[in-house]
Structure 1
Amino acid sequence: MISDGYASTLKRLITFTQAKFISLADVVGYDVSYVNKWSNGTKLPSSRYVERINEEMGHYFAELIAKQGKKEKFFKTFPISETAEDLGFEISQYLCAAYRSTLHQDHSSKGKENQPSIQVITGHHDTADFLSDILQKSLQNLDGDGELLILGDFCSLYDAGFWKYFDDIHLTASNLTLRVGLNMDKLEKNPQYIGHLYATLDRFLDFDFVFYDICDIENSNIILLKGVFAVQYAMSTPPRFNMCTYIFDESMVWDIYEKFSFTGTEKKALNFTVSSLGMDDLGYRTAFYATNRFFFFLTNGFEFLLPHEVFDSIIQKVSPEQAFAVQRLCVTWEEILDVSKIDFIIPATSLMRYLEDGYIYLTDVEYNLSAQERREHIKSVLQAMSNNDHITMATLLPALGDDIYKGKNLSFYSNYKTGFLKKNKQRVHNNADTFYLIVNDRLHSLILNFFQNMKELPSYQQYTCEELTNKYEVYKPLIERTLSLNE
């Protein structure tokens, strides 16, 4: 616990002026949670910015005191001279003095306890074990939502086994945003890293990943959990962790965060996470379908080419706002269905799961088709393919050693200009966002090429309308037995 000298001084000023935390937060440009922690003694402002923070708060408190006509009472209550010409300046200096006093008390206390705030770990195994342990313990015990900065390259970290450290972390009551560097040149030269990237996103559906071009953060080599710890690491070649410096002094961690956080305009994200793609007329989804060429890799059922009866059933069960979005999507598909070139790829295991449970995630609506609706859906798909020769349908069959498509809960949608990834909401255990919106053209192109290259795999099977119809007739008894289990 940080000494309460600064905290008690700030709290007295807030109480005296009846300042609102949210207004004070706006004045200093910080989240209200920061101001709360400054005033209750659990955190101190960053030493790099404390003078500015105190100056802005000092002038704000002075304005409130003047407006409330409390100057005379203020001078009797606080140790500031009545002859002060600039009350805001005097209050800021008062806060700075309290800050210095708190730092002195805090460092003295730590010195007596002989507890270092920095720890160095060396050796490959010790460093790897330490990183795994600190991530497991810190993330599993998150108090509220967390932000993890990973200022290194995803690909190199993958090679070092870093992402395996997250395997046993389960988030249910909190959310975690991971901000990670991405080496675009390495992705382009070695497309298998796109597969590793996809598999990682698919494995950790409860996390929100946001990627940044490694050029913006190259050579930083920092792993930082906001407000908790910072680690600077060194790696050998081939990539292996061989040393790390662990920093757990709270004020130092916040200083590092403020210096390296992804808040600068020069650090533009390659993707964003969102809970919805837009329910309004001008939403992203409407713009996405304003073209005539599409590619879909589907793992969460098959929400396309649905019969009208299914749309009607969905509309009856959702809110008016959702019903309008579903109806608009139905009309949109009717307009593009006969004229668009559409490639569908669906893993065979995902297709079987859809036949078993009928689950789809249409726009922002989860829905389970009845057994009869699934029968009608099959007919609707075959009819659409009969009407449009430019619709291709393909599956990826299970194959030994072929693991690049085994992630079954993350779909990819592209109109060849932009694209997004969509999670299976049934497999998300917290309030993590559902969509990864890809806003970097190069990254979108690399991901699209990766999925299109699946057509070269031995497990890839593409069907014409006639071939698919024949397949349906062959497997119809099995399909009927599967559907009958839900009736």
Structure 2
Amino acid sequence: MISDGYASTLKRLITFTQAKFISLADIVGYDVSYVNKWSNGTKLPSSRYVERINEEMGNYFAELIVKQKKEEKFYKTFPISCEVKDLGFEISQYLCAAYRSTLHQNHATKVKENRPSIQVITGHHDTAAFLADLLQKGVQNLENDGELLILGEFCTLYQAGFWKYFDSIQLDSVKLTIRVGLDMDKLEQNPEYVQQLYKMINRFLDFDFVFYDFCDIQNANLIILRGAFAVQYAMSNNPPRFTMCTYIFDESTVWDIYEKFSFTGTEKEPLISVSSSLGMDEMGYRTAFYAANSFFFFLTNGFEFLLPHEVFESIIRQVSPEQAFSVQRLCVTWEEIVNAAEIEFITTTSSLMRYLETGYIYLTDVEYSLTAEERKEHIQTVLETMQVNPHIVIGVLPSFGGDSTYKGENVSFYSNYKTGFLKKNKKYIHNQASPFYLIVNRRLHSIFLKYFQGLKDLNVYHQYTLEQLNQKYDQYKPLIERTLSLK
């Protein structure tokens, strides 16, 4: 797409659509004087907000063009194809291209600064320290939702100690999406990598990780924080270590690199994607997931299955009418289908104790805390359901953290042996990060399933029969009741 400078492009769109400056100012949330300065070339929008500004103006211009029935004339006047599906989006991209063109022009004509726009760092220790400092400062200083592209491979980066660079980062309001490659051959051959992948997701609940097949992005060796910086790195082998990196912080160059390597709108399909919901609608993901007769669950966020019917009724009274219908349908699904299916549960002692103390569950898209009486009834319902359905198996593991960053398991794994997902404990998410990871790739789902089922081979794993559970309940009933009475 060929574009003039930002000011002339914006002025042409305003003139063509007869848009009023005050209306544009209201649309983008700025004073009208700013819009005037953008169109006469005395000022540019902030690089941090320009994408949002252009998107909102693009949609507004598109509405005016359609309303004024000027589509045919517009396509003849502006370098945009008449075959586009979303005119507002295309106009916003046209403005973005004009913005970058102006940045390039300004960069070429202004007096060069004393410091270069590219910096090279060499040596393992210097490179590692530089990358750690750069990532922590860059992410920590985000004022809006950010995107970090890592065109490298998770397992190799883990061996190089890369993921430790994120340990001290706190995200309280903004979101960060991290896109990175996975080598499924490595994951399949070495369960330790699956464990480390799970630990990372479990540790960084405030981040949204999206994983791609490494075959789609290999040999790039790039780390790009959208709108902030780009780093190309070199690594040694055996063991993998960062040996050199080229740090690029010229704004227009960073945007050019980001656009070339961004996964958005490309043929690259994620292996694992994030989701804010499993679908509370009738034909959502959750409905399809539970249309099976065999399940495997690794639970860390309480025990939201085999709930007493009265708990469902209590939840329904507390949620919105739209959610109430979905909870009713979920109740029917679980009581009539899931409770009669073959189900294997694995949970951890820390999760069980936390549930007994708080009663907190995250029921698909609804957070709820069972009362002490509801928790007592829940225990009885679990035992009674196991009596009716001998195909329910429950096993318990001690927590398997062990490193200095371990804070307990907060990510559950759900599988119907065909597909699966991971669910975060929403109670411990501090920003608007997505609570669900959908495992899109079947091979990767099988790798996860094999790993979690393999936990049963640990010496510390114990699987309980109904008789043993009844004995344990009788043995620890005084402790359980005192725990349930805690405020």
TM-score, L = length of structure 1: 0.82
- Note closer, same or farther for the CA distance 1:335–1:152 as it changes in structure 2 (3 Å cut): same
In the TM superposition, 1:196-345 aligns within 5 A as 196-237=196-237, 238-263=239-264, 265-337=266-338, 339-345=340-346
Q: What is the aligned length?
A: 436
In the TM superposition, 1:88-487 aligns within 5 A as 88=78, 103-111=104-112, 113-237=113-237, 238-263=239-264, 265-337=266-338, 339-398=340-399, 407-486=408-487
Q: Give the 3-state SS of the residue equivalent to 1:208 in structure 2.
A: strand
Counterpart for residue 8 of structure 2? 9
Structure-1 separation of matches of 2:456 and 2:406:
12
Structure-2 separation of matches of 1:180 and 1:440:
15
Runs of at least 4 residues off by over 4 Å: 35-40, 86-89, 95-102, 398-407
Counterpart for residue 44 of structure 2? 41
Tell me by how many angstroms 1:400 deviates.
9.0
Structure-1 separation of matches of 2:346 and 2:391:
14
Structure-2 separation of matches of 1:100 and 1:346:
56
Q: Which amino acid aligns with 2:140?
A: Q
Counterpart for residue 30 of structure 1? none
- Residue deviations 1:371-412 (CA, integer Å, cap 9, x gap): 011000000000111111110011102579699997411001
Is the Cα–Cα contact under 8 Å of residues 342 and 390 in structure 1 kept in the other structure?
yes
Q: Give the 3-state SS of the residue equivalent to 2:243 in structure 1.
A: strand
Structure-1 separation of matches of 2:37 and 2:258:
16
Counterpart for residue 90 of structure 2? none
Tell me by how many angstroms 1:485 deviates.
1.5
| Larger Cα-atom Rg | 1
Is the Cα–Cα contact under 8 Å of residues 235 and 244 in structure 2 kept in the other structure?
yes
Counterpart for residue 48 of structure 1? none
- Residue deviations 1:339-384 (CA, integer Å, cap 9, x gap): 3110001100110000000000112111100001100000000011
Counterpart for residue 92 of structure 1? none
Q: Give the 3-state SS of the residue equivalent to 1:219 in structure 2.
A: coil
Is the Cα–Cα contact under 8 Å of residues 187 and 446 in structure 1 kept in the other structure?
yes
Q: Give the 3-state SS of the residue equivalent to 1:472 in structure 2.
A: helix
Structure-2 separation of matches of 1:98 and 1:463:
64
Structure-2 separation of matches of 1:366 and 1:142:
29
Q: Which amino acid aligns with 2:323?
A: Q
- Note closer, same or farther for the CA distance 1:100–1:138 as it changes in structure 2 (3 Å cut): closer
Counterpart for residue 52 of structure 2? none
- Note closer, same or farther for the CA distance 1:110–1:169 as it changes in structure 2 (3 Å cut): farther
Structure-1 separation of matches of 2:108 and 2:402:
56
- Note closer, same or farther for the CA distance 1:445–1:36 as it changes in structure 2 (3 Å cut): farther
Q: Give the 3-state SS of the residue equivalent to 1:270 in structure 2.
A: strand
Structure-1 separation of matches of 2:273 and 2:226:
19
Tell me by how many angstroms 1:42 deviates.
4.7
Structure-2 separation of matches of 1:96 and 1:171:
31
Query: Once structures 1 and 2 are overlaid, which stretch shifts more, 5-14 or 161-170?
Result: 5-14
- Note closer, same or farther for the CA distance 1:166–1:88 as it changes in structure 2 (3 Å cut): closer
Tell me by how many angstroms 1:236 deviates.
0.7
CA RMSD of aligned residues (A): 3.4
Structure-2 separation of matches of 1:99 and 1:401:
48
Query: Once structures 1 and 2 are overlaid, which stretch shifts more, 35-44 or 315-324?
Result: 35-44
Is the Cα–Cα contact under 8 Å of residues 306 and 339 in structure 2 kept in the other structure?
no
Is the Cα–Cα contact under 8 Å of residues 275 and 438 in structure 2 kept in the other structure?
yes
- Residue deviations 1:52-84 (CA, integer Å, cap 9, x gap): xxxx9xx99xx89x989xx9xxxxxxxxxxxxx
Tell me by how many angstroms 1:141 deviates.
1.0
- Residue deviations 1:77-125 (CA, integer Å, cap 9, x gap): xxxxxxxxx8658xxxxx99998786444224242x2331111000111
TM-score, L = length of structure 2: 0.82
Q: Which amino acid aligns with 1:267?
A: K
Tell me by how many angstroms 1:276 deviates.
0.7
Is the Cα–Cα contact under 8 Å of residues 151 and 220 in structure 1 kept in the other structure?
yes
Structure-2 separation of matches of 1:133 and 1:314:
46
Structure-1 separation of matches of 2:439 and 2:404:
24
Q: Give the 3-state SS of the residue equivalent to 2:270 in structure 1.
A: coil
Which consecutive unaligned segments of at least 5 residues does structure 2 have?
A: 25-34, 48-57, 80-95
Tell me by how many angstroms 1:143 deviates.
1.9
Identical pairs, percent: 64
- Note closer, same or farther for the CA distance 1:231–1:110 as it changes in structure 2 (3 Å cut): farther
Q: Give the 3-state SS of the residue equivalent to 1:416 in structure 2.
A: coil
Q: Which amino acid aligns with 2:235?
A: M
Tell me by how many angstroms 1:414 deviates.
0.4
Q: Give the 3-state SS of the residue equivalent to 2:340 in structure 1.
A: coil
Is the Cα–Cα contact under 8 Å of residues 14 and 20 in structure 1 kept in the other structure?
no
Query: Once structures 1 and 2 are overlaid, which stretch shifts more, 349-358 or 247-256?
Result: 247-256
Is the Cα–Cα contact under 8 Å of residues 14 and 20 in structure 2 kept in the other structure?
no
Is the Cα–Cα contact under 8 Å of residues 276 and 435 in structure 2 kept in the other structure?
yes
Q: Give the 3-state SS of the residue equivalent to 2:231 in structure 1.
A: strand
Q: Give the 3-state SS of the residue equivalent to 2:6 in structure 1.
A: helix
